[in-house]
Amino acid sequence: MFKFDMLTKKVDEFSSKSLLDAVRAGKLDKVGAWLGRGGDPNTVDEKGESILFMAAAKGYDGIAQKIAAAGGNVNFTDRYGATPLFVAATKGHTSVVALLLAQPGIDINTQTVEGNTPVFMASWLGHVAVVDLLIDANADLTKFDSMAATPLHIATEYGHENIVGLLLEAGASPNQPNRDGRTPVFMAAWHGHIGIVKRFIRAEADINKCDDTNRTPLFMAACHGHDEIVALLIQANADINKCNQDESTPTLISAEKGREEAVKLFIAAHADINKGDKNGYSPIFMAVLNNHANIVHLLVEADADIYKPNNVGKTPLMVAMERNHEAICAMLLEAGTRDRKSLLQAVVDGNFELASKLLAKGVDPNVINDETGESVLFSAVSKGFEGMVSQLVAAGADVDQTDASGRTAIYVAASKGHANIAQMLLRGDYNQSDAEGRSPLFMAALNGHKTIVELLLLVRAEKNKVNHVGDSPMHAAVSSGHLNIVKMLVEAEANFSITNLAGKTPLDIASEKHHQAIVTLLTDAAAADRLRLIKAATDGDVALMTLLLGKATSPNLLNDDVDSVLFVATTKGHQTIVQKLIAAGADVNFVNKEGRSPLLVASQIGHRPIVVLLIRAKAVIAHSDKNGHSAIFEASAHGHDAVVGMLITCGADVDATTMDGVSPLFIAATRGHTAVVNLLLAMGAANDVHDQNECTPLFLAASKGYAPIVDLFVQAGADFGFSNKVGITPLYIARKRGHRAVVKILHDADTKLLQDVRDEDIVVSSIVLGRGGQGVVYKGKWHTQDVAVKTVLNTDGLDSLRKEIETMRRCNSPYIIKMIAVLEQKLDEPKLVLEYMNSGDLRSYLDKKRTHAPVDVEFSKLELAWAIANGVLDLHEQNILHRDLKASNVLLSTTNYIKIADFGISRDLGTETLTMGIGTSYWIAPEVFDGHYGFPADIYSLGVILTELDTLQAPYANLNLKFMTILDQVRSGKLRPEVSPECDEWYADLANWCLQHKPEDRPTAAQVLGVLEKQMRAVYPEC
């Protein structure tokens, strides 16, 4: 069996080899025989090619027929993807192709690894008949190779016109781009296949379709010198100006490469012969660059722009000169000269069409006529050629170019009244004057050209510019009698006060020439300006002020109140207006009807910058008005310390007084201007001046409660003990008006002045002022001052007196009787020297008031309550309890005011010996009867005194009760002193609050003082 298998294998190998050999040799009969014996119709050789593939490649149509009939695979592919049909089409074996196409199931569109189909290969290699067969078999004509090329692309590239025709007839697209964006028509134009181009044009191919670099078929034909195709495409309406990615046109590439015939074609087709590439190179530039003189000549004759520079500013002529292209240089120079002459003539003749053409090609719009020295623009303006002027301006003509007389184009237009032309020329300097200094506005005004005047004023031409003899446009209009123009200039705020070199204003000229209407107009305008200047000063209108002063309106005008405009502006604080008026020559020392100068009013309102401006302008600092008020007085009176300082620095007299004798320091102190007082005192102002009532600044400051100012005067050494005409001191009036802070300052200052007192300095008289169980008070003398001298009757009173001395040393209050000295030479008989209260005690004072007996001094109920409450507060702030507050322990004086006295039983709050039975019982708080004594106990006693001040009676004087009954009811809270039915509600409320049964329900001394202070401020509101 094994031998048989081996034999069979050998037979098969022999059969395949024989079959392959027969196919290779083209032995049809042997191929048939072997296939008849069972040979494999799909036998492949060592290359992997089937016998059908081999037969198709060699064109053995008979063999191919037998193999196919025997079952050979008609769609077999070799290692490159080629089929028998592919190789037959490639080799052009028409008969093999035909028989294969007849085989059922054949794939006629199979692509190789490179994407090639049978029809593609046949089209490439020009096998017309094969292409025809494949088209008939419906081959796919859209399949493309690896370059995206279709059969139509490849046939076109290799110039197979017949095949192109077949493919087009079969519907192949002439607009299908390949991988580089190139269409078949592009390929035909590139490679110069004119017949194919014609076919594409007939097939209505898109002849403007660009490749990926934006090149068109026309561009490619021009680039490669295919002139016939260029002509053909132009005739077919190809876009002759289409640019590539470098912005090069077909004309430019033709000029660059020297394609003379193509350039002619493009010129004839009216191509844009001036279009440049991305570097600004135009066709003529490229022709010059490459020295193509014949093309330069063609372009020059076609009116190409020979002046247009490239992107780096070089013109064709410059490049020709750089490269020594002499023939081209001569050609360009001659063309330029010809163009300039033509433009000059065109302008003179009014040949707008020719001028437009020349300007369009780049002829310089600033050509000068050698004979007249005028520019073409000047000539056009002179002749009134509006269209020509417009064209020249649009082309870049220099509108500011002048002629020999310095006249510009707009000057001429203004002189001749060419309004539309003047409007075109406004981009230039419309203020440029001629050799005589006359501006365009001047000429328009002189010649009465209203529209041009209006136009120039609208664009803000210099309306006050003067010529060489000082005449302005207003002078010109007035001189010529042009009322309407004069009116326009006036309305435009032109200066009608300018004086020319002959000393004449426009009004003078109008009067001389009897132009009465103009005289009236200018006179009315001047009057209106004066009113406007006053209004500008009042309103602070800087722009209007600047304008009017610029028109030479007087800066020294007066309003209806005879105030100068500088005074008015100063009053309103308009600093910039003041500055401008001063700069214009305003009189800084002019005074109004009250004699007040700008400096006075600036000092009054405290406008330091204006004060500085006025002083720099030589304002008189010492000037005073009818009331004697100076600048420093006004600044001081209104608290402007910065202005006061400035005036002092500039030499103002700090002690200058008014007609009433009031100094700056006096008025500042009176009005509470602390900073000003401080400054004036520091600068040496006299502090001892006084008014008609002999009140000093310190006195008035004290009376109004200006504590910081009082302190400044004290520090400056002012006499705070000085009395006014009625004998009242600053300390007294401050106490009377309830100015606690001022009182403290003055009291402390007075205390510091006390000197050491020797025993021999005190003279004790035998006059007894008061007597108690343990001590007595005598009237004494210390130098010239009355004093009270308190001593003990026996040694039992020593402890109480020493405690009183200690208390008074600790509490130095203006509302506590002042201790002057302690005399202790005799240790068993010390003496306490006190200030003398010459009006007795409060209880005696109230008794006299009740019986209408005369008293030494008058005090209001509020004053008394205020002083006593202040004393209690000062004690409590030092942690001291009085413990014996009652009306008889409050002393009065005509000079030393109201003071609390008798501290013999006072104690610190923490002292343990707080017992009842001490002091007068009717003033004792309920809790004291149980041995409890604190600050509220003093407040209760104060409340009892408040009822005394209201009723003028001692407590419970109107009750018919026994002493102990009263004490028991007070202790139990059933009884307390009361105010009268007529008492003010606020006062009654305060007294009842102080007399509350529970200590914790009573106010503090500070709270009591708070209620009283509101009432004091109501009585003395100016404080």
Q: What is the largest CA-CA distance in the chain?
A: 186
Q: What is the pLDDT of residue 10?
A: 45
Q: In angstroms, rounded to a whole number, what is the distance separating the alpha carbons of residues 569 and 337?
A: 68
Q: What is the pLDDT of residue 821?
A: 84
Q: Is the dihedral angle over the CA atoms 50, 51, 55, 61 positive or is it negative?
A: negative
Burial label, 401 (beta-carbon count in 10 A; 0-12, 13-18, 19+): middle
For 252, 279, 292, 429, 531, the CA distances from 258, given in Å and listed in that order, are 10, 19, 6, 48, 81
Element (H, E) at 765: strand 762-771
What percent of the chain stands above pLDDT 90?
Answer: 69
Q: What is the pLDDT of residue 915?
A: 41
- DSSP characters over 559-619: -TTS-BHHHHHHHHT-HHHHHHHHHTT--TT---TT---HHHHHHHHT-HHHHHHHHHTT-
Q: What are the start-end ranges of the E strands in 275-353? A: none
Q: What is the pLDDT of residue 801?
A: 81
What percent of the chain stands above pLDDT 70?
Answer: 95
**Confidence check: pLDDT of 1000 > 90:** yes
Q: Which residue has the tokens 């403007």?
A: 208
The whole-chain average pLDDT of the chain stands at 90
Q: What is the pLDDT of residue 5?
A: 47
**Confidence check: pLDDT of 964 > 50:** yes
Q: What is the pLDDT of residue 941?
A: 95
Residue 300 near residue 332, CB atoms below 8 Å:
yes
pLDDT tens for residues 880-912?
898 889 999 999 998 888 999 887 545 555 444
**Confidence check: pLDDT of 2 > 60:** no
Identify which has the larger pLDDT, 792 or 246: 246
Question: What is the set of active-site residues?
Answer: 884
Q: In angstroms, rounded to a whole number, what is the distance separating the alpha carbons of residues 427 and 420?
A: 13
DSSP-derived letter for residue 898 is: E
Q: Which two tokens stand for residue 1001?
A: 């329900």
Among candidate residues 287, 273, 278, the one with its CA nearest the CA of residue 317: 287
Other beta carbons within 10 angstroms of residue 708's beta carbon come to: 15
Domains of the chain: 1-107 (1.25.40.20), 343-524 (1.25.40.20), 535-744 (1.25.40.20), 754-836 (3.30.200.20), 839-1023 (1.10.510.10)
Q: In angstroms, rounded to a whole number, what is the distance separating the alpha carbons of residues 189 and 218?
A: 7
Q: Is the dihedral angle over the CA atoms 575, 579, 581, 586 positive or is it negative?
A: positive
Q: What is the mean pLDDT of residues 394-412?
A: 92
Q: What is the pLDDT of residue 8?
A: 42
Residue 666 near residue 686, CB atoms below 8 Å:
no
Q: Which residue has the tokens 């037998």?
A: 66
C-alpha angle 776-777-783 in degrees, rounded to nearest 5:
145
DSSP-derived letter for residue 532 is: H
Residues 6+ apart with CB under 8 A from 309: 280, 315, 318
Q: What is the mean pLDDT of residues 787-813?
A: 81
Among candidate residues 906, 881, 877, 922, the one with its CA nearest the CA of residue 804: 906
Would you give the distance in Å from CA 217 to the centre of its chain? 59
Confidence of residue 162 (pLDDT cuts 50, 70, 90): very high
Q: What is the mean pLDDT of residues 367-395?
A: 90
Q: Which residue has the tokens 């304002």?
A: 619
Q: What is the mean pLDDT of residues 957-965?
A: 88
**Confidence check: pLDDT of 342 > 80:** yes
Among candidate residues 396, 391, 395, 421, the one with its CA nearest the CA of residue 409: 421
**Confidence check: pLDDT of 86 > 50:** yes
**Confidence check: pLDDT of 913 > 50:** no
Q: Which residue has the tokens 């109107």?
A: 958
DSSP-derived letter for residue 1008 is: H
**Confidence check: pLDDT of 920 > 80:** no
Would you give the distance in Å from CA 248 to the centre of its chain? 49
Other beta carbons within 10 angstroms of residue 57's beta carbon come to: 20
Q: What is the pLDDT of residue 828?
A: 66
pLDDT tens for residues 462-491?
999 999 999 999 999 999 999 999 999 999
Q: Is the dihedral angle over the CA atoms 793, 798, 801, 805 positive or is it negative?
A: positive
Residue 430 near residue 443, CB atoms below 8 Å:
no
Give the 3-state secondary structure of 415-450.
HHCCHHHHHHCCCCCCCCCCCCCCCHHHHHHHHCCH
Q: Which two tokens stand for residue 827?
A: 């240790």
**Confidence check: pLDDT of 11 > 50:** no
Other beta carbons within 10 angstroms of residue 926's beta carbon come to: 23
Q: Which two tokens stand for residue 852?
A: 């209408």
Residues 6+ apart with CB under 8 A from 179: 147, 148, 149
In terms of phi and psi (left: phi > 0; alpha: psi -120 to 50; beta: otherwise), the region of 836 is: beta
Confidence of residue 752 (pLDDT cuts 50, 70, 90): low
Confidence of residue 1021 (pLDDT cuts 50, 70, 90): low
DSSP-derived letter for residue 112 is: -
Q: What is the mean pLDDT of residues 259-281?
A: 94
Residue 654 near residue 632, CB atoms below 8 Å:
yes
Q: Phi and psi dihedrals of 567, rounded to 5? A: -60, -45
Would you give the distance in Å from CA 634 to the centre of its chain? 39
Confidence of residue 1022 (pLDDT cuts 50, 70, 90): low
Helices (H), ranges, 84-150: 84-91, 94-101, 118-125, 128-136
Element (H, E) at 267: helix 260-268
Residue 502 near residue 512, CB atoms below 8 Å:
no
DSSP-derived letter for residue 655 is: T
Q: What is the mean pLDDT of residues 307-325?
A: 91
Scored b (16 or more CB within 10 A) or e, 260-288 reads: bebbbbbbebebbbbbbbeeebbbbbbbb
Q: Which two tokens stand for residue 587?
A: 């009189």
Q: What is the mean pLDDT of residues 125-143?
A: 95
Among candidate residues 193, 192, 191, 183, the one with its CA nearest the CA of residue 216: 183
pLDDT tens for residues 538-550?
999 999 999 999 8
Q: What is the pLDDT of residue 537?
A: 94
Q: What are the start-end ranges of the E strands in 868-910? A: 880-881, 890-893, 897-900, 907-908
DSSP-derived letter for residue 48 is: S
**Confidence check: pLDDT of 930 > 50:** yes
Q: What is the mean pLDDT of residues 443-453?
A: 96
